[in-house]
Structure 1
Amino acid sequence: MAKDFNASWLHLTSDEEILWKGHQSVYRVLPLVTVGILFVLLGTGLAGSNFFPLSNWLGVILALSGLIIAMPPLLQWRTEWYVLTTEEIYHKKGVLSTNTIQIRLDRIQNTTYSQSLVERIFGYGDVTVYTAGSGTMDLVISNVSNPQLVNGTLTEQLDRVSRK
């Protein structure tokens, strides 16, 4: 799953281990990427033909529109990461500038996971993390594959941390 994962942005202690890493399910970005690819294919086919006087320009516009539709969700999917270690949860996102959130496991009060019907069919959902001293959710691990596994792994670590 994570051949493209680069852990250099993590600040792991000597005894801290990565237990799980992932990003949004590909099913979440697939519709827009598919539409974008179709626009690019249609545009390149139209640009190379002479169906009507402006077909070349219309083809270029369609191809560029396809890139504009497909690239943002694809870049977000490739650059947003969630990491669960034995000590913390990390969330990193951003293309040109990055934003990283770290939450120590000993600060977490509660977790939940949820899936809509469509999310259950495609095997993804959200895991919500609530921290101490906050009545609101502090981190949503959104649209992640197999949220039950992620929530279960997190719960096991929370139990381990609370016994210390």
Structure 2
Amino acid sequence: MAIDLNYECPHCQTVTPVSTAIVDEMVECPKCHQQFRAKAPIGHPVASSDHQIKAKQKVELEFDADETLRSVNPVYLRNPLVQTSLFSLVTLTGLFGIILGLTGRVFLGQQGGLTISGIMLLVCAAIYFFYRWLQVISTWLIVTTHRTSVERGIISMSTNEVQHDDVRNIKSERNLLERLFNYGDIALSSSGQDDMEIVVHDVPDPDGIIEIIRQHQ
């Protein structure tokens, strides 16, 4: 039967009960709604004392010291800024068209032309924003005390990680708009690798994440 283990959220320090059935997976803090990995505890035998030679061997649980320091998704609406602005304008235009249509305005010789056009614009904008949202939630950059990993996918997941001890190259790229809105691209590679092993675009606060990685190298 599954029991609950208490985990401290690395984002808001709230103690959260986690069922042993989902240990070693990403869980969501009920207070700050940020996700973190609930690492499984490690058991090891405890030596018997001279007075307990015939007693049953006990097992003491010791938690892994690998603590999640930062877990982020790429930014949602800040990039691509031009497309986001365009589809925001499409949304407003669609709403305006629906309002005019409901007031009885005629468009292209039809009474409901404005309403239909407004609905079509809203549907196009909704499809775009939903697609961008799926792209964002399907990518996680996770920085712990020992490693940095990137998880991609919703149904099928892929994970790539680099140990902080092996990190030899950290690259960050940001243009003017990205510096103003505090996001950018991060790439990491380990020793002996020619290509970047981890590349994540549009990460919020890239300088802060890079500083955490360097502190734990």
Q: How far apart are 1:78 and its partner, in Å?
A: 3.5
Structure label with greater radius of gyration: 2
User: Out of 35, 38, 44, which is 1:6 matched to?
Assistant: 35
Code of the residue aligned with 1:152 in structure 2: it is E
The within-5 A match list for 1:46-85 is 46-47=97-98, 49=101, 50-52=105-107, 53=110, 54-85=113-144
Are 1:114 and 1:126, in contact at CA under 8 Å, matched by a contact in 2?
yes
The within-5 A match list for 1:31-46 is 31-46=82-97
Task: Check if 1:103 corresponds to 2:162.
Answer: yes
Code of the residue aligned with 1:157 in structure 2: it is H
Q: Which consecutive unaligned segments of at least 5 residues does structure 2 have?
A: 1-10, 12-28, 42-62
Range with bigger deviation, 5-14 or 72-81: 5-14
Range with bigger deviation, 103-112 or 83-92: 103-112
When normalised by structure 2's length, the TM-score is: 0.60
Distance 1:101 1:120 in 2: 27
Q: Secondary structure at the match of 1:137?
A: coil
The total of aligned residue pairs comes to: 158
Q: CA 1:84/1:11 → structure 2, altered by over 3 Å: closer, same or farther? A: farther
Are 2:152 and 2:158, in contact at CA under 8 Å, matched by a contact in 1?
yes
Code of the residue aligned with 2:66 in structure 1: it is E
Code of the residue aligned with 1:6 in structure 2: it is Q
Q: CA 1:115/1:45 → structure 2, altered by over 3 Å: closer, same or farther? A: closer
* Superposition CA RMSD, Å: 2.9
Q: Secondary structure at the match of 1:51?
A: coil
Distance 1:20 1:43 in 2: 39
Tell me which of the two structures has the higher relative contact order, counting C-alpha pairs closer than 8 angstroms and 6 or more residues apart. 1
Code of the residue aligned with 1:42 in structure 2: it is T
Are 2:79 and 2:202, in contact at CA under 8 Å, matched by a contact in 1?
yes
Are 2:151 and 2:160, in contact at CA under 8 Å, matched by a contact in 1?
yes
Q: How far apart are 1:16 and its partner, in Å?
A: 0.8
In structure 1, the residue matched to 2:198 is: 139
Q: How far apart are 1:8 and its partner, in Å?
A: 4.6
The C-alpha deviation readout for 1:74-121, integer Å capped at 9, x for no partner, is: 232234221110121121233444332222223322212232222222
Distance 2:155 2:89 in 1: 27
Q: Which consecutive unaligned segments of at least 5 residues does structure 1 have?
A: 159-164
Distance 1:35 1:106 in 2: 44
Task: Check if 1:18 corresponds to 2:18.
Answer: no
Counting aligned pairs with the same residue, the percent is: 20
Distance 2:88 2:38 in 1: 32
Richer in helix (by share):
1
In structure 2, the residue matched to 1:120 is: 179
